[in-house]
Amino acid sequence: MMDLIQEITQLLDVAIPELKKEEIIELIEIPARVEMGDYAFPCFRLAKIYRKAPVKIAQEIVQKIPASKGIKKVEAVSGYINFFMNPAPFVTQVLINVLEQKEKYGSSTIGKGKNIVIDYSAPNIAKPFHIGHLRSTVIGNALYHIHKFLGYHCVGINHLGDWGTQFGKLIVAYKNWGSKKEIEEKGIPELNRLYVKFHSEAEENPELDDEARNWFTKMEQGDQEALDLWKWFKEISLKEFERVYHLLDVSFDSYAGESFYNDKMEPIIQELREKNLLEKSEGAEIVDLSEENMPPCLITKKDGSTLYATRDITAAIYRKKTYDFSRCIYITALEQNLHFAQWFKVIEKMGYDWYSQLVHVPFGMVSMETGKLSTRKGNVILLEDILNEAIEKTKEIIEEKNPELEDKEEIAKAVGIGAIVFNDLYNNRIKDVIFSWDKMLNFDGETGPYVQYTHARACSVLKKSGLEAQEYKDLSFELLDDEASIQVCKVLEGFPKVIQEAANKLEPSLISRRIMDLAQSFNKFYHECPILTAEEETKKARVALVKAVQVVLCSGLGLLGIHAPERM
C-alpha cells in the first residue's frame, strides 16, 4: 500500500513539521491487529521534541490531520496514531492494477541493460545427483526467474564438477575393479559403487591415493587414456543429469564446468605471480590472507596441479570479460563460506574493482528424516528417485480423492515435484531442510499442493462463472467492503514489492510466504463470501477478485519454478 503510505506521510508532514518525510516513513508501521487500523504512527520519539507524554502528543496531532480521500478514520490510542483506510479506492486500484497487467503484475524494468550471472546446481560428474543437490538447483532456478521478471538479462551457469583428483580416484577404481559393460548398463550407480570402493580400499592401502593423484596429473598434462576415460564418465553422467533437470523443468544457458578453464588458468597464475601475490609454502603456491584473519588461499599444489580456488578465480575473470555482469551469484552450501570469502579476497587483491559484485548465496543442509548424506560412504538418496516417488505418491492421492481427473499423469508430476520445490523454498534458505513426505504432500498445510489446489479452485470458480472475459474497469469494486475481500487485496498489493525484496535479499522464500498468505486469505474469502450465488453486481466484482488471485498465484508459483495446474 505504498500510495497510502505516501498519503499518510503527506498528512503527518503537515501536522509534524519537526520531522522530515523520510523520518516519518521510517516510523510508520503495520499494527499487530486489524482492529488497530491499517497503519500506525508511534509518537514516542516526539516526547523529547514536544516535552509531553506520547499519549497527549498523539491526541493533539490527530486534531491537526486534515480529511483525506484514502483515509476513512484516524484515532489516537496509547501513544499511537492509527489510520484506517477507505477501502473502496484502495480495493479498486489494486484489482484494476492486477487485472490490467495480468501476468506482468509485479514485473519491472529495473534490471534493463544489466547482466546477472547465476552459478547454481553444479553436481559432480560420475557421482550421484542426490537430494543434497536439490537446494542449489531450485534456489538458483527461482533467483533466475525472479531477476528475469525484473528485467535483468540472466545467464544461468551449471558449473559442473568435472575436474579434480576424484577423477584420478575413479580411474584407479575402474582399472582395478570396474567393467565397461557394467558402467554402460548401470551408469552413475556403478560409477558411485567404484568411488565408494576406492575410499574403503584406500583406508587399508594409502598408496592408492598416490596412484589417484598421478592419474589426475596425467589428465592435466593431456594424457590421452586418462582424458578418454574422463570424457566417458562425463557423457554417462550428463545423460542422467538431464533426466533430473527435465523433471524439475530447470535449464541452463551454459554448462561450462571446471574443465572448461583448464587452458585459461596458467595466465591467471602468472598474473598472480607478476602482482607478487603468490608465496611458496611447503612446495605449494598460496596467497597469504593472514591480514584478513583467514587461512591462505591455495592456488597450486606441490605437484603443480590446481585447486577449486584456482578454477573459481579464473572462471570469475572469464565471466566478467564475457558477460560484463553487474552481479555474479554463487549458490552453494553454507559450509563453503570460507572458500568464497578467500578467493573473493584474492580477486580484490588482484586489483579488480568488481570484486564487490561477486556474491555468495549460502544455504542450509537438506536431510531425510533418517539423517545426513555422504557420497564417500555411499548412503545417498538419488534425486531422480525422490522426484519419481513424489509423483507416484501424488498419483495415489489423486486416485483416492479425484479418480475421474483428466491428465492425471501431468498433474501428478506438477504437484509432486511442486511439493518438493515449495518445501525447499518455503523457509529462509539459510535454515536446514528436513525432507518429510507427510508434511510435504499435505493438501491442507503450508505446502505447495495447498497453494496449487487454491489456484485450481480459483480456476474452477472462473470457469463456472462464465465471466472470465468481463470488462473489469466498469465493475462496482466498492461492493467488496468486507474484511475478507480487503485482506486479499492487501496481500495482492504487496506482491510487487516482495518480488523486488526477494531479488535484493536473494531470498525466494519471501515469494513462497507471500503466495501462501494469498492462498490462505483467498480461501477465507471463498468460505465467507458467496461468489456465484451473489447478487449480479457483487458476483461480478467477486469474480474479478478471484481472477486477480488466480493471476498472482500462477505468477508466484512460476517465479519459484513450480507449475500451476488448472485442475486438481
Q: What is the pLDDT of residues 437-464, one digit of tens each?
A: 888 888 888 999 999 999 999 999 999 9
**What per-residue confidence (pLDDT) applies to 365?**
86
Q: What is the dotted CATH code of the domain comprising 120-261+316-368? A: 3.40.50.620
Neighbours of 141 (CB within 10 A): 28
Q: What is the dotted CATH code of the domain comprising 391-559? A: 1.10.730.10
Give me the catalytic one of 72, 133, 497, 505. Answer: 133
Residues of the chain where predicted confidence (pLDDT) is lower than 70: 1-2, 368-380, 468-470
**What per-residue confidence (pLDDT) applies to 369?**
66
Q: Is 130 marked active-site?
A: yes
Evaluate whether 337 touches 313 at the Cβ level (below 8 Å): no
Give me the catalytic one of 127, 349, 547, 563. Answer: 127
Distance between CA atoms of residues 325 and 366, nearest Å: 30
**What per-residue confidence (pLDDT) applies to 552?**
98
CA 260 to chain CA centroid, Å, is 27
Among the listed residues 205, 204, 163, 196, the one whose alpha carbon sits nearest the alpha carbon of residue 177: 196
Evaluate whether 275 touches 288 at the Cβ level (below 8 Å): no
pTM listed for this prediction: 0.89
Give me the catalytic one of 130, 301, 320, 547. Answer: 130
**What per-residue confidence (pLDDT) applies to 130?**
82
Q: What is the DSSP letter of 67?
A: P
Distance between CA atoms of residues 172 and 184, nearest Å: 18
Q: What residues does each domain of the chain span?
A: 2-85, 120-261+316-368, 391-559
Q: CATH topology for 2-85?
A: Gyrase A; domain 2 (3.30.1360)
